[in-house]
Every structure is written in structure tokens, then in C-alpha cells.
Amino acid sequence: MDAIEFLTGFDNIMVKIQKLLSICQTQLEGESTETVKGLCLKLILILITGIQSINQNILIEYIMISPLFDCLVKLLCDVPTRQRHGYEVVLIITFLVNYRKYHAANPYVVKLSILDDEIALNGYGQVITSSLSEFCNQYNLEHAENQNASWFSSLTNIVGNMFISEEGGVRMQQVRANNALLLAFYEAIHLNRNFITTLAQTQTDASSPPSPNNTLSNIQDIPDLSAAPATFDVTTQPSNLLVTFFQYCSIVMQDTKTEAGTNTVKLCFLILGCITEDQYANSLMHDVSLAFKVRLHRLPMRHRKLSSDKTTSSQPLICTLLDLLVEFILSHMMKKFPMELYMLCTGVLQRILCYQKKCRIRLNFVWKELWTALISLLRFILQNENYLGKKINIFVLSIKVVNMMNFFITYGDNFLPTPGSYDELYYEVIRMHQVFDNIYSMALRYSSGDGDYKEDALKLNNTLFNVRAIIKHFNPKIEQWLASANLSTPSEEQILEIVKKNYDSLTLKLQDSLDHYERYTEMPHYGTFFTNMVNIILCDTRNNINCSLLNFTNIASEYPVI
């Protein structure tokens, strides 16, 4: 800002900035070369990122009152321009949407929320899809190379190299670069219902973009100042934004040990929460005619083979999302427990179940995998009670997990695929009764004391009523049958038969609000998170622009002035 005032004079700054923006808009809308358009977009980004905190940058006020938004939308509609400059266009929109949006009316928030140009929205989505696809494909290649190496080499490479914790790590830099597009994805999902229709559309640009390896082959092409991931398609296979995003989530969700990694995963879960809260998005994901095979990457763990990535069969997208959530639950039971991420994960699950119950959708999914994951999470909390209980409120998460089981117990007959599925649910509760008994005992200890979690512990015990009623009802009948049959260990089939014959005498209690959830609101819960995320992206963008301009200066200096 000081430099601008020095060059233009404070009295003339408004006029000159508006003139500068008018020139940029003219070049972007006219028949200018792609190089000139790229320079104009970079100049706008320089103005936006000139100050560390975006909300303190007064220059953005002049950009906000200019007719730039319509110009950017037109650029997204043009395939060649979008392929070459789509990242910068989407990035500019995202920055401007986040300018002082908690303090005053933001016209870009309004404009993005009411945008109904299908071509522009589809182009917006293609920019995100292409960049995330490039990341996923590069990861797949490196992962395949590691799979072909020795067992020890594979372990060290996957765990040590895929997510380098140092700030300069190549993989982490790529993840951070994609955070800008994740934020753009979030803003579109959160603000614009019309964008939902693009989620499951097959996205393949017909024309090929210029190869980034050849951008310096001709002096007229200098400079290619893109400091961001390339926005071109890297695969000829039909895909869509949801397919790509699910695979991307499966990769980045492997890194929750660093703060940066945790923030990326948190943003992914917030996006998933917004998606699963939308009725139309849910209808798309549950549509059996929209079936895709998706490769979900899984964290290497000691109890399973390294080559444990899961390529789903051709199935509705909601099944893939459930697979992703189950995998997260099972693979993040660690000492550095990601409590907030688990709360967000269970929130996404609750939204899915509420939609299925409401619409009576009987999804062909192996629900036993989810029940096993939820019970395993309760068991982990029990085993680490002394450590976790000193750091976090383990009862809040335990309540959400038990209520998830309550949801199946109470409403399962409305959406489970077969009556046998309901029997299997009861079998899992009976089989793992010791976990529920111990959870009840733990909560009873806390509710009887004077600790901070007394009320939550009491609430947890109340949520366990139906689970304990099932255990108390069926266990004596199973023991009675074993005694009469002179057996010590029943088979699964025998227990299921006992369950089927004794439903009528079971008494359960209808628990309140199982099929209701608090709708997502950005403020006040996540305002600080998004402010920090925007400032980090702004800093990275400014550094990337500086590097690209420096590279261009060095290249240009090698050519004689004619």
C-alpha cells in the first residue's frame, strides 16, 4: 500500500487504481494474447495479496466496486482461457468472497451465491477437479512405484515421504497449494445451491491445453507465470468432482499429525458436511444410475498389508463416501487423537443417515463395517481413558457414537436393506456387550463425582439405555438356550435365530432428536479457522507470484533487447 501511494500519490490513488483495473478488464475481455491475460490476472492477485491480512488491504475496496466479477465469469466459460488461467480466476473470486465477509456486506458473496450460469459453474468445478486429479494421479504413480519396491522400502517411502512434515516438503507444498481450491470448493458449495448440480457431472474438457513443458519453447509464450497446480485434465477417464474429491480426501486424511495436515482434513470434512446437508446432493449420491469405481487410499497400518488400497466396485457415490468415513474412523485411533475431526466425521454420518431414514432409502451397503468401526472407537476411548480424559471431553464423542447405534436400533427398519441386517445389528451389540458395559461403568464413575464432565457422563448413560436393554434382554435367553442345548459357545447363526424369536418381548425407549441435527453455520464456530486459512493461502500465493516473477526476470535477461 505504501508503495502504491508513493508511485501514484495519495490524492490520485482511487482514480489510478480504477483506471488500472479498467485496463486489466479490457485486456481480459478483448482479443489479447494469453500472456497478456495472464499478466493482468497476476497483477490483480498482486493487488489482493499486497498485505499479509486480507481484511486490512484497502486496495480491495476498489476491486470490489469494479465490474470484475462478470469478467471473471466469462473467462471460466471459455475453455482455452479456463485451462490456462482457471486457477488464478477461481483464486481471485475466492479471495474477494473472503474479504471482510464477517464485518460488512460483501458483494462477491452475494454474486457467487446467485450465480446461475451453468457453463461458468461447470467451469469453476472443472478447475477444481483438474487440479485435484493431477495431485491424485501423481500420488498414484508414486504409490505404484513404492508398491513395486521392497517391503521395508515401501513402508519407509509411503510413511516418510508422502507427507513430509517439513515446510519445504514437495508433497506438503502441493497439498497447501490445493487448499486454495478446497476453499473455493467450500465457498461454492456453501453459498450456491446451483453449484450442487455440477458435482456429479462428467467433466472432461474436449480441447487439450498447452503443455507446461513447452511454455518456454517460443519467446512469444513467455511468461507462463502460473505458480499454482496446473488446471488441465490428466486423465482421459470420465470422472466428476465428487469422485475426484473422495479420492483426494482418502490421500490427505492420512496426515493428521501436523497442524497444516489437520487443517486440510478439517476443511474436507466441512465440505462433506455441506454436501450431505443438501437434499439434491444426497439424491445425486444415492442415485444407483450414477455408479463409479473409486480408488480410496488407506493408511498403512501394522495389522494389515501395505497394498491395502481399496478400489470400490461400481457403486453409488454414497457407498464410496461411507467407505471413506469408515476408513477414517478405523485409521485415526492414535495418541494424538483428532477429536474435532472425529466430531465432524460423525456429523457427516448423521446427515447421511437422517436423509436415508427420511426418504426410506434401503442402501445396498455392508453396514456391519460401520458398526464395527463405531464400536472399535468406543473401545479405543475406553482403553485410553486415563490419557484422553485429561485432554478432551471424551463423553461428547462417545454420546455421538452411541446415538449413531441408537439411530440404527430405533429407525433401522426404515432404511436397512433387509430384515437380516437388523438381526446383524443386534448380534454386533450382543457380541460386543463388554464394550458397552465398560462404557456405562466409566460414565457412572464420572457422573457420581464432582468433575467437569459430570453432566455429559450422565447424558452418556442415558443414551445407553436401549443398548443395555438389548444386552440384558438377549444375554439371559442365549445362556438359557446354551444350557438346554448343553453347549458352551454358540455360533453366529444360533444367536441370530435366538434374536429373531425374541423381538416381541423386548422393550425399548424412543430417544429424542436422533433424526435431527444442527444445520451448519460458518459463524461463530469456524470464523477464526477460515480467517487463518485465507491468510495462509494469501501468503503462499504472494510467495509463488514473487518466485514466478523472479524466474521470468531471469529468463528475460538472457534475451537481447531488439
For the stretch 312-316, contacts whose Cβ atoms lie closer than 8 Å and that sit 24 or more positions apart, written own/partner, are: 315/291, 315/364, 316/285, 316/286, 316/287, 316/288, 316/290, 316/291, 316/363
Residues in the chain predicted with pLDDT less than 70, given as ranges, are 1-11, 147-171, 203-238, 302-309, 549-562
Q: What angle (nearest 5°) sits at the alpha carbon of residue 138, between those of residues 175 and 209?
A: 95
pLDDT given at position 338 = 97
pLDDT given at position 303 = 61
Within 8 A by CB and 6+ apart from 487, the residues are: none
pLDDT tens for 335-386 read 999 999 999 999 999 999 999 999 999 999 999 999 999 999 999 999 999 9
pLDDT given at position 212 = 33
Cβ atoms of 401 and 377 within 8 Å: the answer is: yes
Within 8 A by CB and 6+ apart from 134, the residues are: 229, 230, 232, 234
Q: How many CB atoms lie within 10 A of CB 335?
A: 7
- Secondary structure percentages of the chain, helix, strand, coil, to 5: 70, 0, 30
- Is the Cα torsion angle 502, 504, 510, 514 positive or negative in sign? positive
Q: What is the pTM of this model?
A: 0.88
Q: Cα(443)–Cα(461) distance, rounded to whole angstroms?
A: 6
Identity at 197, one-letter amino acid code: T
Q: Cα(1)–Cα(422) distance, rounded to whole angstroms?
A: 65
End-to-end CA distance of the chain: 34
Q: Minimal CA–CA distance to 285: which of 294, 500, 179, 523?
A: 294
How do the domains of the chain map onto residue ranges?
A: 1-103+531-562, 115-204+238-332, 366-520
pLDDT tens for 143-199 read 777 766 655 555 555 555 455 444 335 667 788 889 999 999 999 999 999 999 999
pLDDT given at position 304 = 60
pLDDT given at position 557 = 55
pLDDT given at position 201 = 80
pLDDT given at position 216 = 29
What SS3 class is residue 66? coil
pLDDT tens for 231-274 read 333 344 557 999 999 999 999 999 998 999 999 999 999 999 99
The CA–CA distances, whole Å, from 100 to 105, 110, 300, 380 equal 8, 13, 42, 42
What SS3 class is residue 398? helix
Q: What angle (nearest 5°) sits at the alpha carbon of residue 234, between those of residues 231 and 235?
A: 135
* Cell, residue 196: 450442487
pLDDT given at position 203 = 63
Q: Cα(431)–Cα(70) distance, rounded to whole angstroms?
A: 61
